[in-house]
Amino acid sequence: MNAAAPVRTDSADGRVDFGRPTLVLRRRRLSTRVSRRAVVVCTVLAVTTFLLALVSLGVGTLALSPMEVLAALADTGGNEQARLAVVGWRLPRLLLAVLCGAALAVSGAIFQSLTKNPLGSPDIIGFSTGSYTGAIVVMLWLGSTTYLNIAAGSLVGGCVVAFVVYVLAYRRGIQAFRLIIVGIGISAILGSINSMLLIAVSPEQAMLAAVWGAGSLNGLGYAQLWPVAISGTLLILGAALIVAPLRQLEIGDDAARALGIRAQRSRALATVLGVALTAVVTAAVGPISFVALAAPQIARRLTRGIGLELLPAALTGALVLVAADLIAQRVDLPVGVITVSVGGSYLAWLLISEYRTRGRL
């Protein structure tokens, strides 16, 4: 967009009034504007996540204060034991929590934007269950537990289920309620199939898959971190590139086309990115539900933004998962159990507040 284009100026100093305080960035060929509130919110989120991370790194059999953790990270304290615990064992788990939280939140934000509905998250419409089934099939039938194979399995599973759910829910357009009910139905079928798969194999294999199926960050190290870090970062960057078309799709296909967006192609690309983000996370840590649902909604309420905003969502997701994992470590449960309990309550609250204000969702 050219800065010299004629725009209506409402305020005295020649600036455009967007209805809220904004910061405008202009470089030679690129200009963008961000709301001041979003910048503040993002900073606060990042700082909170960092502080929580310091606490989380200090928790365990070897309890460390945040200052000791910082010393161990910078390798200045000379305490070999602390450095091994923090950098060797706890750091990969923490980074996984940050990455997975961000990836899930971005995936949820994409789907919520595509379906124009706060409930359009991968866990509600059954994609997560599909990823889980795909991963179980790879684990149990092909007997492979390497990350890449499981990731491929859960990606294929997620995509197939996404496709099936969309096709079954399609009837002169996608309607959110139908999408959700079809998702519930497909999840029920897949749940039965998962149980049958687990029954049909040896107890050891079944136990392995069941532990993984609860969604836990326990016992994960650098071996699991690197693949997630590389693929997750690439996918999130990819998602950042399609934010602009997605935002314009939110105002309707016709209007978006008039602005030069190829609607079908952008939507297909966004769906694949969203499913891939969920699959990457599911393959590494198992199904962790409701982060994708709640994080984008919380972010949106914090920034009071309209439309798709990835960075606040990703930061909120990271914060939520780090906090949930901290709780999970304290009460010794898989983190997936924590997120489903807290996230379900959040969903109930969301429903009540939306019904009260709008009478519908």
Minimum Å gap between C-beta 206 and another protein is: 11
Query: Is residue 290 involved in binding another protein (CB under 8 A)?
Result: yes
> According to CB under 8 A, which one of 21, 88, 191, 307 is a site residue for another protein?
191
> According to CB under 8 A, which one of 8, 27, 29, 171 is a site residue for another protein?
171
Quick one: which of 311, 296, 304 has its CA closest to 42? 311
Nearer to another protein, 216 or 303 (CB): 216
Query: Is residue 361 involved in binding another protein (CB under 8 A)?
Result: yes
User: Quick check: 46 and 56 in contact, CB under 8 A?
Assistant: no
| CA-only gyration radius of the chain, Å | 22
> According to CB under 8 A, which one of 39, 62, 189, 208 is a site residue for another protein?
189
- Extract the tokens encoding 354: 């939306």
> According to CB under 8 A, which one of 32, 76, 81, 192 is a site residue for another protein?
192
Query: Is residue 332 involved in binding another protein (CB under 8 A)?
Result: yes
Query: Is residue 28 involved in binding another protein (CB under 8 A)?
Result: no
**How many residues comprise the chain?**
361
Nearer to another protein, 30 or 199 (CB): 199
- Extract the tokens encoding 263: 């609607």
Query: Is residue 178 involved in binding another protein (CB under 8 A)?
Result: yes
Question: Greatest CA span in the chain, whole angstroms?
Answer: 75
- Extract the tokens encoding 355: 């019904």
Distance CA 315, CA 303 (A): 12
Distance CA 90, CA 57 (A): 6
Hey, which residues between 89 and 118 contact another protein (CB under 8 A)? none
Residue 152 CB partners (closer than 8 Å, separation 6+): 138
> According to CB under 8 A, which one of 69, 174, 181, 276 is a site residue for another protein?
181
Q: Would you report the helix, strand and coil content of the chain in percent, each value rounded to 5?
A: 70, 5, 25
Query: Is residue 289 involved in binding another protein (CB under 8 A)?
Result: yes
Backbone angles phi, psi at 123, to 5 degrees: -75, -30
Binding mask 201-240 for another protein (x = CB under 8 A): -------------x--------------------------
Nearer to another protein, 223 or 351 (CB): 351
CA angle 63, 65, 71 (to 5 degrees): 110
> According to CB under 8 A, which one of 99, 150, 180, 324 is a site residue for another protein?
180
Query: Which position has the token pair 């999970």?
Result: 328
Quick one: which of 341, 323, 317 has its CA closest to 99? 317
Binding site for another protein (CB under 8 A): 119, 124, 168-169, 171, 175, 177-178, 180-182, 184-186, 188-189, 191-193, 195-196, 199-200, 214, 289-290, 331-334, 337-341, 343-345, 347-348, 351-352, 355-361
